[in-house]
Structures are given as C-alpha cells and as structure tokens.
Amino acid sequence: MGELNTFPVSYKVQGQRIVIIGGGEEALNKARLVSKTTALVVIVSRNIEADFSELPVTVLARPFEDADLVDAALVFVADHGPDGDAAKRAARARRIPLNVVDVPEECDFYTPSIIDRAPVTIAVATEGDAPVLARLIRARIEAALSPNLGALAKLAGSMRDKVAALLPGTRARRYYEELVTSPEVEVALLRGQGAVKAESLLAQHGAEGDSPGVVWLIGAGPGAEDLLTLRAQRLLQEADVIVHDHLVPAAAVEMGRRDAERILVGKQKGHHSFTQAEINALIVRLGKAGKRVARLKGGDPMVFGRAGEEIDALKAAGIAYHIVPGVTSALAAAADTATPVTLRRISTGFVLATAHGAESEELKHWAALASTGLTLALYMGKSVAGPTAARLIAEGASANIPVGVVVRAGRKDRVLYRGTLGTLASGTIELEDGPAIIFVGEAIAHGDWSEAIELASSEFKVA
Ligand code: SAH
C-alpha cells in the first residue's frame, strides 16, 4: 500500500462548465487557474468585488441557482454565505467534484500548482500540506523547461498516424525520443518548419530498419540513489529492459521508463537466483532481439561483478556493449569513514580482493602487502572475517594492523566496526546483516571511525 491520499489525474473539462461561486479574491485566483482550460468558466455571486474583466469568464452577478450546475465538470465554492452552502449541497446532489476554498475537509479535490505548456501540463501537489513548497518546485521546473514544449508535444501528436503506419513499437518510441530531444527540431519549430523536419526525420527512421540491440553494463553504486552517475541515469531512461542484481537500490531500478521490463536475476542468499550462465544467455537473447538492455550491477560492474563473463558472452554473440562505471563499495566505505586508502608514507597502494574462497597462497601474498602498509579492501568476506584475519596473522601479518568494517556502505543505515587483525581474529563475530567491506591496513587509523563499534568490546563472544 502506498502513502498517497490523493491521486493526480488529467480530468476532461472541454465543452463543460467550471462553476465558481464567489466574487472576491479567492474566486479570482481559482478563475485564473481554470481559465487556462477550454471549459466555459462561470462566476456566480451577488457581490462581484474582484475584477474579472481580464479573464475569459462569464460573470453572473446574482444569487446561485441550482441550474447553474447543469453540465458542470467542477465546482469551486469561494463564498462563505448561503449561496456557498446551497452550491455545496447542489454539487454533492449532482455528484460533481467540489472544492471549497481553504476548507480541505470539505474538498473532493485540491488544485495543484500547474506548469502550463499546453498540451503538456505538469502539476505539483502536496495534498494541501505545503502549497509554498509546491510553488517553489513549480518555479524550478518552469525555469528548466523550454517555452516550446507545448509546440513540440503538438508536433509529436500530429505525427501519430504516420508514425504508427511506418514504424513498429520500439522504433516508433525511438523516433519520438529523437523528435522531442533534437535541437534541430526545436530550431525548425521556431522557424515554422517543424512539420517538414518531423517528416524528414520520420523518413530517415523508416529507411534505417531495425536497429541492433545493445547492452550497457552499468554500475549502480553502493546503494544510495544519489551515488548513481548521470550517465547511468540517462541510459536507464533509454533502456527497454533492466536486468538487475539484488544489491541494486530499488530507487535506481525505478529510474527506468515505466514501461521498461525489469528482471531481477539475484543474488540474494537463500533465494533462487539465476546462474551466471543463465544471466549471460539472457542478456545475449535480449541483445539479439534488438533490445537496449541496462544490466545494472551494485557498485562498479568491473569489480567482483562477473562483468568479464558477461562481456565474453556478448562479444562471442557479436552484440554491442558499453561499460558505465559506478562507485565501488570499498570507496563508498572509505568515504563513509573519511579513510584515505592511499596515504603518503603510510599506504602506497590499495588492493581490492575477495576473502571468499581465498587460498593460502593468496593470503600469504596479502599478508605481505598489508605488512608493507598497503590498504586491503576485502569483499564478500563477512562470513569468513574471523578465520581470514587469523590466517593473515598466521601468514606473518602483525596482529596489531588496524581493521575497519563497514556494513551497508554508502547508505544511511551503515554500521561501522573497528579493531585490529587480532581482535577480528579472536572474536566469534556477529556483524550486522548486509553487505560489508573489511579494510585492513595502517591507513585505517587515519580515518574517522568515531561512530564505530569496537571489535574488542564485550559485544563479541571471544572464542
Ligand atoms: N560490484 C560490487 C561488488 C559486488 S560483490 C562493487 O563494486 O561494490 C558483492 C560484495 O560487495 C559484498 O559481499 C560486499 O563485500 C560488497 N558490497 C556491495 N555493496 C556493499 C555496500 N553497500 N556496503 C559494503 N559492501 C558492499
């Protein structure tokens, strides 16, 4: 269940009346708003005080009559006397949606702030909670939108039949995308050449035939929607299909087009997830079908993201692909804790490694790196954190090397732990749920881990 108590719709009023009861400023404000429509706007009041002469409205300076509501699509009451009361009763009896100005309890609907680029309308509504905020948002959107937006929308509308006859679904959408975003079309429109340009663009799209599919391997960052790159955001909007992992933030998946297909391919512990071979086959099949596929991965796609296998499969099938980097979780963890992973005279390098399934040889190698000051970031290592630390010590790393763990890096609900290789090795650790990065190295001591839970504390059962 959602949280909205109201639902925005575009309500037809053409050929009908919008009736406003009242003759003061409030009535004038509503009249201004609704006279943007093609409805017949009628003002009814015994006391016409405001100046309606600038607006295309009909003013009836007399008491309200029930018949005023014949063919009315909407009724506004801005009269707190008997005429207002009579109009409210009449509107309810006729089941005409009613707005009683400044009395939210009596309203069937509210009026949003409107950005009018007819036929394009953008409505900003706050369910009456913060009209001032709605106006500020409106001003920002106004500033960002071309004044030609309406003309552009009309142009797109005028091409509908021709496009439908020439181009199938996906290709039609690409045509419209180019039509409404191309600067050349906008220039042509200003010169009164919009229709000619729209036609020539259509001919071009018609001649091109089916465009081949493409797969974008996109990094979605560590889980905060504002750590997504602008490029990722743009490509998500263009994608026909979004294939995503479990760790990808829902907000990023939401960013795609509403009608884009979304496929969750795992990987969550304990749930069925696609095998890597199935994922490879899926993106190849979609690419062959001419789809534009956003393959969204947590963090950066090239870091423990199985991107290598997916790229090989795409290459073998001759499908175009591009990589869009993302913020890898170790760097989000470094940011969360103000830890410089390289630091003059302390740490001359930064190693991304996985503790999962690490062999003795690798552990020996990392122990040597950590001993020379390099910062290790261990991925997928939470469940084996203690044993991994113990093995690093056994391979010669000092038990005093600082360790820091960030669970859910980059997110508001992150949790930090700090200690040393020794304290990590000695505890039967129950770290919080969620993905974690384990840092090992002297540079950790130079970060800000003041919120961190101490690994040595009694919260951990020492084995
Ligand atoms: N491509 C991803 C890594 C995928 S492997 C990236 O660049 O971040 C999955 C591992 O990444 C997890 O086991 C965990 O170690 C790490 N990880 C992913 N998201 C994380 C997050 N928000 N916080 C901490 N670690 C995370």
Rounded Cα distance, 439 and 351, in Å? 10
227 CA from centroid of ligand 1 (Å): 14
> What's the pLDDT score for residue 350?
96
Average pLDDT of span 195-219:
90
Dist. CA 260–CA 248, nearest whole Å: 16
pLDDT mean over 145-160: 91
Return the pLDDT at 243.
Answer: 96
Residue 25 has pLDDT above 60, yes or no: yes
Our CA angle for 201, 178, 322, nearest 5°, is 125
C-alpha 303 to ligand 1 mean position (Å): 9
What confidence tier does 135 reach under pLDDT thresholds 50, 70, 90?
confident
Rounded to the nearest integer, the mean pLDDT of the chain is: 91
Using the predicted structure, report yes or no on whether residue 125 has a pLDDT greater than 60. yes
Token pair for 336: 């969360």
The backbone torsions φ and ψ at residue 221, rounded to the nearest 5 degrees and listed phi first, read 80, -175
Whether the predicted pLDDT of 113 surpasses 50? yes
**pLDDT tens, 364-389?**
999 999 999 999 999 998 888 999 99
What is the structure's pLDDT at 267? 61
What pairing do the DSSP bridges indicate for beta strands 17-21 and 72-77? parallel
Range 254-281 average pLDDT: 84
Q: CB of 314 within 8 A of CB of 215?
A: yes
> Ligand 1 in contact with 404 (CB < 6 A)?
no
Instruction: Label residue 244 by pLDDT band (50, 70, 90).
Output: very high
Quote the DSSP letter at residue 191: T
Pocket test for ligand 1, best of 276, 379, 438 (most atoms within 8 A of CB): 379
pLDDT single digits (tens) 295-330: 999 999 999 999 999 999 999 999 999 999 999 999
Return the amino acid letter for 258: R
Mutate to test the pocket of ligand 1, among 437, 438, 439, 440 (most ligand atoms within 8 A of CB): 437
* pLDDT at residue number 463: 38
Q: Which tens digits make up the pLDDT trace of 67-110?
A: 999 999 999 999 999 999 999 999 999 999 999 998 989 999 99
Please give the pLDDT value at position 457.
52
* Alpha carbon separation from 290 to 13, 167, 192, 205, 212 (Å, rounded): 41, 14, 35, 15, 5
Number of other residues whose CB lies within 10 A of the CB of residue 292: 21
Q: pLDDT band for 458, please (50, 70, 90 cuts).
A: very low
Rounded distance from Cα 313 to ligand 1 centre (Å): 23
Q: Which atom of ligand 1 is nearest to the CA of 414?
A: 23
Q: What is the model's pLDDT at position 118? A: 85
Catalytic machinery residues: 245, 267
Distance CA 264, CA 159 (A): 36
Q: How far is 369 from 441, CA to CA, in rounded Å?
A: 9
* Distance in angstroms (rounded) separating the CA atoms of residues 23 and 50: 6
pLDDT band at 17 (very low <50, low <70, confident <90, very high): very high
**Which ligand 1 atom minimizes the distance to the CA of 223?**
22
Q: What is the pLDDT of residues 388-431, one digit of tens each?
A: 999 999 999 999 999 999 999 999 999 999 999 999 998 756 88
Whole-angstrom distance, CA of residue 309 vs CA of residue 381: 22
pLDDT at 426: 87
Alpha helical stretches, state H, 295-379 = 307-317, 329-336, 360-371
Amino acid found at 323: I
Tens digits of per-residue pLDDT, 29-60?
A: 999 999 999 999 999 999 999 999 999 999 99
Mean pLDDT computed over 113-141 = 88
Can you read off the two tokens belonging to residue 338? 């103000």
Which residue matches tokens 């905020």? 133
Tokens in use for 19?
A: 């009736």
What is the model's pLDDT at position 73? Answer: 97
Q: Is the CB of 245 under 6 A from ligand 1?
A: no
Percent of the chain residues topping a pLDDT of 70: 97
Cβ proximity of 48 and 63 under 8 Å: no
As a whole number of angstroms, the distance between CA 350 and CA 366 comes to: 11
Residue 19 has pLDDT above 50, yes or no: yes
Torsion angle of the four alpha carbons 412, 414, 419, 420, in this order, in degrees rounded to the nearest 10? -120
